[in-house]
Structure 1
Amino acid sequence: MPTRPSVPDRKVALAFMAHPDDAEISCGGTLIRLQESGWEVHIVSVTAGDCGSMNDGPDETARIRFAEGTNAAELIGATFHTLNEPDGRLVYDRQSLQKSIDIFRRIAPTLVITMPMSDYHADHEITGQLGRAASFVYAAPNASAEPVIKGSQVPYLYYTDGHDGQDRMGHAITPTTFVDISEQLETKTRMLACHKSQLEWLRSHNGIDEYLTAMREHSQTRGTDIGTRAAEAFVQHRGHGHPGDDVLSALFPIQHSSHSTNSALQATHS
C-alpha cells in the first residue's frame, strides 16, 4: 500500500468540539497556525451551548453563543458551525452520529482535531466518540446523502488535551504531539475573549474566576514541556485506517531550547 504524504494535497482542517468555546481553549493556537499556513479552517460545536448561562433561557443563550463562536472564528478567517445538540445532554446515538457524518461530508476535512474520550465533561467524551466515528466513515459513499467532495479521505485525527492536562480520573495525559503557539497566544486570547458570556458562567458553575488567565496559564505550562513560551498538546489517533505519520509535527517542527530535558519532550520525539 502506498505511503500517504506527510501533508495532504487537500488542506482542510476541522476542529470538532463539544461547546462553542472549546476550540479556543484547547486548540486555538494550532488553528491559527494552520490558517497562516494556507489551510481552510472550520470549527464545529456539536452542542448549541444552551446551558452556558446562569440568567438567560436556552434559546437566547444558544443565540448568544452562536454569535460569539462566529466572531471568534472570523478573527482568523475560519468558519463556525453548530449541530445544535442539547448542551449537557449530548448522547451518542444514530441522530447525532448522522449529523456529524453529514457535516464532515460537507467540509471534507483531511485533518481533524476533536476532544479527548476521557475528560471531566461527558459532552467532551461523546464529542470525541462522534469525531472518531465520523472521521473514519464520512468518505464512504453510502454513509450520507450529502455528495462526496473530491479529496475526501480518512483524515489525520488528533484528540485535544484534557482539562489541566488530565483525564476524567485526574491522571496526567501523555501527549504524542506538541505545537508551539508562542507567537499565536495573543490572538488565541482574543479569540477566547469573544466568548464574553462565559465569564460569569465559568465563575459561578466551574469555579474558574478568570477564564482567559486559566487558558494562558495552561498554554504556558505546556510550553515549559517543550522549552517554549506556550504550546498546545495532543494525542494522535493512529488506529487502523488513519494515517500514522504526525502531520502536525511535520507542519510545525518544534524549535526547542537546547537545555530542555523535559520528559514529555523526550517522549514526543522518541
Structure 2
Amino acid sequence: MKKTVLALFAHPDDAELMCTGTLSLLKQQGWEIHIATMTPGDKGSAVHNREEISAIRKSEAKNSARLLGGTYHCLEFEDVYIMYNRDTINAATALIRKVKPDIVFTASPVDYMVDHEMTSLVVQTACFCCGIKNMEVEETAFEPTPYLYYSDALEGKDKLGRPMPPSIYVDVSKEMALKEKMLACHASQRNWLLEHHKMDEYILAMKRFTESRGQEIGVGYAEGFRQHLGHGYPQDNILKVVLGEFVR
C-alpha cells in the first residue's frame, strides 16, 4: 500500500471543517496527504472580485495544507456552478489517477449546499472510474478502487433539518489545535462569513460541532464519516485498521 490520502471537497476550508483531524492522525502513521477543491471559492467575498479572492483563497489553502506537510490542488471550476458532467468527472478522475490515493474523503451526498452534493457525486464516480481505461483521461488507470468516505454534512443535518448521524467516528481530541490552526489559515472566509452571515464565530462553530460529535462517543472531539459501500468499492473499514482505537 502506497499510503496516500486525498480529501477532495468543493471549496477551500471544507476539509478543514470536516476531516483534517483525521488527516493529521493519518499523517502521523506515515500517510502522504493531498487536499483538493473543485473550486477556488471565487464567490466567497463581499470585497474582492473573483480573480482576487480566488488567488487569496488558493494561497490560504496551500498554507493550510502545508501545516500537514500536504499538497493542495484546485480543479478550477466555478463556485456555485459545480455540475455533475463530463468536464468535472474527467477532471476529478484525472486528479485521482495522478495522486493514486488509497483513501478518498469527500462531502456528504446530502448537505445544505448543492455544490457539496454535486462534488460528492462527482467524486463517487471518479473513484469508480479510476480503473476504467476507456475514459477521456490521459492519466494512467489504476486499481483497486480507493476507499471512499463521506464527511459529515454541515451541522450534521440534511437540508430539511433532520439529523444525519455518522456510522464511523474518529477521535480527534489530540488534533484539535492543528485543526483550528489550519482553519484559521482561511482568514478571507472568516471575513466573508462575518459580512454575509453577520457571524463572527468561524472557528468556534467548528469546535462546537466537533465537540458535539465527540460527546456522542464519550471523547473530547470527534469527526464523523460514512463509508461508501456500493458494488465495486472496498468493504472493510481501513480507517479502523490504520487508526485503531481512535476509530469507533
- Normalising by structure 2, we get a TM-score of 0.96
- Contact 2:170 / 2:246 at 8 angstroms: preserved in 1? no
Q: After the TM superposition, which residues 167-182 of structure 1 pair with which residues of structure 2 at under 5 Å, given as runs? A: 167-182=158-173
Which of 25, 46, 49 lines up with 1:33 in the alignment?
25
Structure with the higher helix share, 1 or 2 = 2
The question of whether the paired residues in 2 share the 8 Å contact of 1:208 and 1:214 is answered with no
RMSD: 1.4
In the superposition, relative to structure 1, how do residues 255 and 50 fare at CA in structure 2: closer, same or farther (>3 Å)?
closer
Could you say which residue in structure 2 is the equivalent of 1:135?
127
Query: What amino acid does structure 2 have at the position aligned with 1:153?
Result: P
| Offset, 1:119 | 0.3
List per-residue Cα deviations over 1:176-215 (Å, max 9, x = no partner). 1110101000000000000000112112223432111111
Among 12, 15, 19, the alignment partner of 2:7 is 15
CA shift for structure 1 position 91: 1.1
Instruction: Give 5+ residue unaligned stretches, structure 2.
Output: none
Distance 2:2 2:216 in 1: 31
3-state SS in 1 of match to 2:69:
coil
Is the 1:51–1:58 contact (alpha carbons within 8 Å) kept by the matching residues of 2? yes
Aligned residues with identical type, % of pairs: 39
Q: Secondary structure at the match of 1:167?
A: coil
What is the correspondence of 1:102-141 to structure 2 with a 5 Å cutoff? 102-141=94-133
Match of 2:140 among 135, 147, 150: 147
1:201-212 aligned at under 5 Å gives the runs: 201-212=192-203
Instruction: State the match for 1:260 in structure 2.
Output: none
Equivalent residue for 2:175, pick from 170, 174, 184: 184
* Number of residue pairs matched by the alignment: 247
Aligned equivalents of 2:165, 2:139: Cα separation in 1: 37
The aligned residue for residue 261 of structure 1 is none
**Corresponding residue of 2:64:** 72
User: Does the 8 A contact of 2:22 with 2:172 survive in 1?
Assistant: yes
Which residue number corresponds to residue 78 of structure 2? Answer: 86
Could you list the runs of 4 or more consecutive aligned residues of structure 1 that deviate by over 4 angstroms after TM superposition?
none
Larger radius of gyration: 1
Q: Distance in 1 between matches of 2:216 and 2:169?
A: 9
